[in-house]
């Protein structure tokens, strides 16, 4: 979990200029609001370039094997990582 968060914060997942939320990005993806960081991201198992969450469509409290925890747990770790990085 933490590895994905720090990789995203370092820019390792790249950055995307996405169209408005709800827009079809390609034939497999729609632009959504990431349930972890609230930035624009893509659905359908894509990885958010801002926080590293792989969107799998599960509920907030459901364990996600792809992400190593629930959205709630991942969000806590994401904001903790941002706080730690801002201290440096």
Domain regions of the chain by residue span: 2-87
Strand partners, 24: 30
pLDDT tens digits along 34-87:
999 999 999 999 999 999 999 999 999 999 999 999 999 999 999 999 999 888
> 84 is written with which tokens?
């730690």
Q: Does residue 26 carry a pLDDT above 80?
A: yes
pLDDT at position 56 is 95
Q: Does residue 31 carry a pLDDT above 90?
A: yes
pLDDT at position 87 is 85
How many other β-carbons are positioned within 10 Å of the β-carbon of residue 37? 21
Q: Across all residues in the chain, what is the average pLDDT?
A: 95
Strands 31-33 and 40-42: antiparallel
Cα dihedral 80, 11, 7, 46, rounded to 10, equals 100
């Amino acid at each position: 979990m933490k590895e994905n968060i720090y990789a995203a914060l370092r820019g390792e997942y790249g950055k995307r200029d996405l169209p408005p939320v709800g827009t079809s990005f390609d034939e497999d993806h729609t632009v959504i609001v990431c349930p972890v960081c609230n930035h624009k991201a893509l659905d359908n198992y894509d990885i958010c370039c801002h926080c590293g969450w792989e969107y799998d469509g599960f509920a907030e409290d459901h364990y996600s094997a792809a992400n190593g925890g629930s959205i709630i747990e991942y969000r806590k770790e994401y904001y903790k990582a941002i706080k730690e990085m801002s201290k440096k």
